[in-house]
Structure 1
């Protein structure tokens, strides 16, 4: 089984703004991103998507999934569990305007703290892994699962699949429209590509 995760394209948000759960527009047309992504996936040898694109309901993911699904006339599956982490009161604020003590408290217990009033990393991970279990573990017929997702979703799934600490994978670079490709071989998940 292959799990192909693609981060959404660049968003039209000022640099340094926290926009996790907030629905923000893309910087440019999703169709252009889809047309650039398709030949790149072919060049990398990414398996063909046959079961439809899975996506977060947020515009920055869903618009790319719609464009990709339309290109090959396949379904799109929208699932709220694939939405980015909810940063609560920090949503829409510049990171440098948030009380440093609150950010430090969050960093001191990144797994369980939620000083912003949104989700903790543990709550977010539980939600994302529930999607993964239902889609990739319980469905025996799935061969290739393709997802348009947020950076946080891709990183926590990487930690889950590879058995790594989440606070480590949160630091991994992940560009807009980057591909993270995982393959299950004899019951074990392997990383085929990261940030490709």
Structure 2
């Protein structure tokens, strides 16, 4: 007899966007690519829908939620690349990229946000949804999803952790084991 999960969380990365190849964008509002709706139509899950304030997430979350409200949460924003936003990665000075590579957790690319700050705000969001122990759906960005995937595996975030492709999802089933919740990841296509 299979044990039923206590609750499930669908993690969704916004659908593909229209940006120039090699463009740095994080907080920059970029448009969704034509046909983005087909990605959301494949997403499943139940419960409250949380989304980053970015339009690429809000539009996808609204379609996913249907008539239900979407709860916007600032903590789900992508990392802020400051003055680098909108620039081509090849136009960013090499020494600045080297500085970031030498201290990736504390360096503030383009004067924006550092990875430590991203991790702290995603940790806070994660604690909130796990404490609620209710099914939900989360529409956000690659950076936050990389952190949440590490949290689901009960380990520290690593810079090499991959993000799911745009438009893809991960379904997490949470099981109550001795008074705390353990997540089991189920990739969806």
How far does residue 134 in structure 1 lie from its aligned partner after superposition?
Answer: 2.1
1-structure distance, mates of 2:161, 2:90: 19
1:24 matched to 2:30? The reply is: yes
Deviations 1:124-165 (A, max 9, x none): 11112212222322x2xx421211110111001112232334
How far does residue 22 in structure 1 lie from its aligned partner after superposition?
Answer: 0.6
Partner residue of 1:60? 56
**Which of 146, 150, 156 is the aligned partner of 2:137?**
146
2-structure distance, mates of 1:125, 1:66: 26
Deviations 1:12-36 (A, max 9, x none): 111111110111110125533322x
1-structure distance, mates of 2:135, 2:109: 38
2-structure distance, mates of 1:106, 1:195: 33
1-structure distance, mates of 2:109, 2:141: 21
TM-score, L = length of structure 1: 0.83
Q: Is the 8 A contact 1:173 1:195 kept in 2?
A: no
2-structure distance, mates of 1:104, 1:167: 18
Deviations 1:54-84 (A, max 9, x none): 10010111100001112xx322111111000
TM-score, L = length of structure 2: 0.86
Q: How does 1:11-160 map to 2 (within 5 A)?
A: 11-35=17-41, 37-38=42-43, 41=44, 48-50=45-47, 52-70=48-66, 73-137=67-131, 139=132, 142-160=133-151
1:193 matched to 2:189? The reply is: no
How far does residue 195 in structure 1 lie from its aligned partner after superposition?
Answer: 6.5
Deviations 1:170-195 (A, max 9, x none): 44252111112222221243342246
Higher helix share: 1
Bigger CA drift: 98-107 or 181-190?
Answer: 181-190
- How many residue pairs get matched? 180
How far does residue 122 in structure 1 lie from its aligned partner after superposition?
Answer: 0.4
